């Protein structure tokens, strides 16, 4: 252990919800995106799920909102080392969308892509079983554009760059295909509890 | 059936081309020894480190830095690299003293030459400029730090691709690297300015002349600052005609 002379850190209580190397951002919600925030309205937005599925499909805003509502209430963790506790997102479980398109039994991975062109790869197992959502509400209000509104993917058990903003589609694959940040040095999976921040971690 | 099609973005927004990152160096923690502290403004100082095994970086890249307390508590933060790649085994970071900041607080009140910290990097190839394309750099506050690495690189290598810097600060006293700017730089002061210089936020009037002198092939634009600044500046650039897929943004705060 390389102790830094004179460094004590800020006063802290043990927080079992904080993954290694993370700090509690409190009320802040930093914006981390490398692109120009798009002017994307609900009328422009749609979600396509295709690839290795029985019935590729596209939902528009109205069609997606007609699906059974589902909410996530819990924590989120950004690779840049902040975590945010007790956030509340409202939308639809990704299981609902995937059940409609019926992924092929050979499917193992997916690429989530944004209306801006940004993409992230994910094992299919991280997107199913009630662990991922398409959301449009944050704390009961419409999701702000800079945080991915009108709608984004959330996969809260992984670092938040996997929770693609301005979600446009999910392509189901039978192999792993690195997304934008993964090609730029970030980890293929991004589990905060394993500190999978960068490629090679 | 195997899906092999490469994803094509469904909209007019596109992802800028990537720059390769060495993932091996990015995952190894190295000891960085503080060799020098230079005050830049009342609130910002530059910290120079010896990192003998530093593999080099591209201007604009950042690193992760960690401090370890006696009880094992670790604090880590991303910081942009301020120095140009110069093969000297040294790197420089310029840090604001953030109110209540546990890492910046240590740097500004405890750190002295001879202290060591740990760093890993360089990280991410997105907000990086190897010096190959005409660059329009727009920054505010300490957002100028990665842009200064680009400007210093441009000078150190005597590059002939055009480079322009538009930098915003609250006042001349708070303008980081004030002594280093030359003819390539336009300054904007938002709260206080020297006599005869207008005070106010960055506007289309600052951006349009730079867009008008874009070289053939256009600018690669790099914006760094607070999120509010990045939103404002990126809209100004898009309105002035800069393609969205040629704007790279680094936001903080």
Does residue A70 sit at the B interface (CB-CB below 8 Å)? no
Nearest-neighbour CA in chain B from A118: distance (Å): 6
Residues of A in contact with B250 (CB under 8 A): 34
Question: pTM of the prediction?
Answer: 0.89
pLDDT, tens only, B88-134: 999 999 999 998 889 999 999 999 999 999 999 988 778 889 898 99
Residue of B nearest to A40 (CA): B11
Q: In this predicted structure, what is the pLDDT of residue B2? A: 38
Q: Is the pLDDT confidence value at A104 over 50?
A: yes
Q: In this predicted structure, what is the pLDDT of residue B24? A: 66
Beta-carbon contacts of residue A95 (< 8 Å; ≥ 6 apart): A128, A129, A130, A132
**Interface confidence (ipTM) of the complex:** 0.84
Residue of B nearest to A32 (CA): B251
Residues of A in contact with B111 (CB under 8 A): 6
Q: What is the rounded average pLDDT of the residues B207-215?
A: 97
Q: Please provide the DSSP assignment of A21-57 as one string.
A: T-EE-TT------SSPPP---TTT-EEEEEESBSS-E
What distance separates the 2 farthest-apart alpha carbons in chain B? 71
- B118 DSSP β-pair partners: B31, B66
Residues of A in contact with B238 (CB under 8 A): 36
pLDDT, tens only, A45-89: 999 999 999 999 999 999 999 999 999 999 999 998 899 999 999
* Mean pLDDT over the full length of chain A: 94
Which tokens in the block code for residue A142? 């419409």
Q: In this predicted structure, what is the pLDDT of residue B55? A: 85
Residues of B in contact with A110 (CB under 8 A): none
Among candidate residues A127, A136, A115, the one with its CA nearest the CA of residue A172: A127
Of B11, B70, B238, the CB nearest to A116: B11
How far, CA to CA in Å, does A133 sit from each of A90, B31, B130, B198?
Answer: 8, 41, 38, 49
Query: B156, B190 in Cβ contact below 8 A?
Result: no
Among candidate residues B141, B208, B147, the one with its CA nearest the CA of residue B176: B141
Chain-centroid distance of CA B146 in Å reads 2
């Amino acid at each position: 252990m390389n102790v830094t002379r004179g460094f004590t850190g800020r006063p802290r209580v043990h927080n079992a919800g904080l993954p290694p190397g993370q700090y509690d951002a409190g009320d802040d919600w930093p914006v981390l995106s490398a692109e120009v925030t798009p002017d994307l309205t609900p009328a422009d937005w749609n979600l396509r799920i295709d690839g290795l599925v029985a019935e590729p499909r596209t939902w528009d805003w109205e069609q997606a909102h007609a699906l059974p509502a589902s909410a996530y209430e819990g924590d989120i963790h950004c690779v840049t080392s902040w975590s945010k506790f007790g956030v509340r997102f409202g939308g639809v479980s990704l299981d609902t969308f995937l059940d409609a398109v019926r992924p092929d039994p050979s499917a193992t991975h997916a690429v989530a892509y944004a209306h801006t062109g940004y993409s992230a790869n994910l094992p299919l197992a991280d997107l199913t079983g009630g662990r991922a959502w398409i959301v449009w509400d944050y704390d009961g209000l419409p999701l702000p554009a800079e945080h991915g509104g009108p709608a984004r993917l959330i996969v809260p058990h992984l670092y938040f760059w996997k929770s693609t903003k301005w979600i446009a589609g999910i392509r189901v694959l039978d192999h792993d295909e690195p997304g934008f940040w993964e090609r730029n040095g970030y980890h293929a999976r991004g589990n905060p509890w394993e500190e999978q921040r960068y490629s090679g971690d | 059936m195997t899906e092999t099609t490469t994803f094509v973005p469904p909209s007019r927004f596109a992802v800028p081309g990537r720059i390769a990152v060495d993932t091996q160096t990015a995952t190894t923690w190295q000891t960085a020894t503080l060799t020098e502290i230079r005050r830049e403004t009342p609130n910002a100082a530059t910290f120079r480190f010896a990192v003998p095994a530093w593999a080099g970086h591209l201007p604009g890249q950042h690193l992760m830095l960690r401090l370890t307390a006696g009880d094992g508590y670790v604090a880590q933060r991303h910081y942009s690299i301020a120095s140009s790649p110069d093969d000297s085994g040294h790197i420089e970071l310029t840090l604001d003293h953030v109110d209540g900041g546990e890492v910046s607080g240590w740097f500004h009140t405890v750190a002295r030459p001879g202290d060591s910290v740990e760093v890993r990097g360089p990280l991410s190839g997105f907000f990086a400029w190897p010096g190959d394309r005409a660059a329009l750099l727009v920054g505010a506050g300490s957002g100028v730090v990665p842009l200064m690495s680009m400007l210093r690189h441009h000078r150190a290598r005597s590059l002939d691709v055009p480079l322009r810097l538009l930098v915003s600060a609250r006042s001349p006293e708070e303008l980081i690297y004030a002594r280093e700017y030359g003819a390539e730089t336009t300054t904007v002061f938002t709260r206080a300015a020297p006599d005869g210089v207008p005070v106010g936020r960055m506007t289309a009037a600052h951006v349009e002349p730079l867009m008008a002198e874009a070289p053939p092939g256009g600018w690669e634009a790099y914006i760094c600052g607070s999120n509010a600044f990045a939103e404002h500046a990126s809209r100004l650039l898009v309105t002035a005609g800069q393609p969205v897929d040629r704007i790279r943004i680094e936001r903080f705060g």
